[in-house]
Amino acid sequence: MNEWKEYKLGELIDVKHGFAFKGTYITDVGNKNILVTPGNFHIGGGFKDTKFKYYNSNDFSDEYILNEGDIVVTMTDLSKDSDTLGYSAKIPKLDGIQFLHNQRVGLVQFKSEIADKDFLYWLMRTRDYQSYIVGSASGTSIMHTSPSRIKEYEFFLPPLSEQKSIAAVLSSLDDKIDLLHRHNATLEKMAETLFRQWFVEEAEEDWKVGKVNDLVELLSGFAFKSSSFVESGKYRLITIKGVQDGYLELNNADRIEVLPNKMPDYCKLDVGDILLSLTGNVGRCCLVDTSDLLLNQRVAKLHPINERDRAFTYFLFRQPQFKQTLEDMGKGTAQSNLSPIETANMELLIPDEGKLIEFSTTATPFLNKLLFNKKSIQTLSNLRDTLLPKLMSGEVRVAE
C-alpha cells in the first residue's frame, strides 16, 4: 500500500449548495420536476425513488437541474439518529423527469483527474466517512453538515487504475441489486393490476360483505426493553422505522442476544411473514426476507387464517386505495396511530372460495418470486457492504 497517498476530499472535490425552492410550489402531486431532498437517500447511501416531492413551477435556473449520474450528498438529516447525513447517492435516469437540486443537498463537483468519480462516490458511502460527518455535524434535534466539513475528511487514495477496479467491483454488485429491485417493482405492479381487476373491477354481486379479520389475523409486536439491547446481538428488532413501503430497512436496527421469556412465539419472524406499520407513517406493508428478526411494538404481523390466502393478504394491503383508507383511519396529533382492532374490523368484500383458490394459484408464484429476489438482494447487499470498507482500506485488493 506504499502507493496509496493521503488526501483531503477538498483537494479533489467541491460541494455546491442547492437552491431554496419556494414552499408554495412544492407538492405531492406528480409532474416532471422532482425535488431531490434528504428523504431520497437510503441509510448507507444510494438513491431512494419513493415518496418524491414535486415542484409545480419553472421559476428556477437551469444550473439547478441535475444530470443523470451526478453525485449528491445529504447536508441535513431530520431524523434524530442522523441515519443518512453525509451519505452519497447518484441521480438516476427517469424518462420525462428532471431532478432539481434542492437545498440541504450538496452537489459533488470534481476538480482533479487523479481521482475516479465512482471511487469517491463509494468512499462517501463508507461508515468511516459517515461517522466523521456525523461527529463533526452541528445541531441537536436536526443535524447539519457543510461543504467545508465534508472537504476536511482525510483518507488514503490508491492509484487511479486501482480506484477504477475497486469502483467496478462495487458498482457491479449495485447494478445487480438495482436490476432485482426493478424486477420486483414490475412484479408488484402486475400483481396490483391483477388484484384490482379481479376483486374491484370484476367483483361479483353475490360476494358477502365481511371484515378483514374473516381472512387475516393482526398480531401486535412485543415491547422489548432498551436495557436488553446489545451492539452485536443475534436478533434484530423490527420497529416502525424498519417497515417501509414494500421493503424492510434493517440498517441500524437495535439488537438483542437473548429472547425474553414473555415474548409470544409469533414475534420471532419467519421469511415470508407480512408486516404492517401502526404508528407514524401508518399502513406501510412489507415482506420479511431474512431470518433472526423480532416483531417490536407498534408493528403488526398480518397472519392469513388460511395459508392459501397469503398472496391475497399481501396484495390487499399493498393496494394504494387500501393503504389510503388505513392512513385516513390513523389517529393522533403529533403522529398517526392505527388501531389493530379497528383495522381487523374494517369491512371487506370477501370473494367466494373458488375465486380465492384461483387467485392463490395465480398470485402465489408472484409472491414467491418477490421473496426470492428480496433474499438475493439481501445476499448481494451484505456482500457489497462487507467488501466496501475492506476495499477502501486496502485490506482486500483487486486486480486492475
- Encode pLDDT of 99-153 as tens digits: 999 999 999 999 999 999 999 999 999 999 999 999 999 887 788 999 999 999 9
CA-based Rg of the chain, rounded to a whole angstrom?
23
In a domain, 396, yes or no: no
Within a domain: 175: no
Query: Is the same domain home to 90 and 215?
Result: no
Give the whole-number percent of the chain exceeding pLDDT 90. Answer: 89
Range of the domain at 64: 5-157
Residues paired with 348 in a beta bridge: 210
Give the integer Cα–Cα distance in Å for 268 and 264. Answer: 8
In a shared domain, residues 25 and 129? yes
148 and 194 in a single domain? The answer is no
Q: Who's near 6: CB < 8 A, 6+ residues apart?
A: 154, 155, 156, 157
Same domain, 39 and 124: yes
Which cell goes with 92? 438516476
Question: What are 51-63's pLDDT values in tens digits?
Answer: 799 999 998 999 9
**Alpha-carbon distance 137 to 106, whole Å?**
15
pLDDT of residue 277 exceeding 70, the answer is: yes
Q: Are 301 and 266 in contact (CB under 8 A)?
A: yes
pTM over 0.85: yes
Residue 39, Cβ neighbours under 10 Å: how many? 17
For 60, the grid coordinates are 428556477
Whether residues 217 and 341 share a domain: the answer is: yes
Residues 255 and 341 in one domain: yes
Distance CA 19, CA 337 (A): 35
Beta-strand pair 299-304/274-277? antiparallel
Residues 242 and 330 in one domain: yes
The count of domains in the chain is 2
Work out the pLDDT band at 333, boundaries 50, 70, 90: low
| Residue 119 in domain | yes
CATH of the domain at 260: 3.90.220.20
Q: Which residue has the higher pLDDT, 83 or 103?
A: 103
251: cell is 440498517
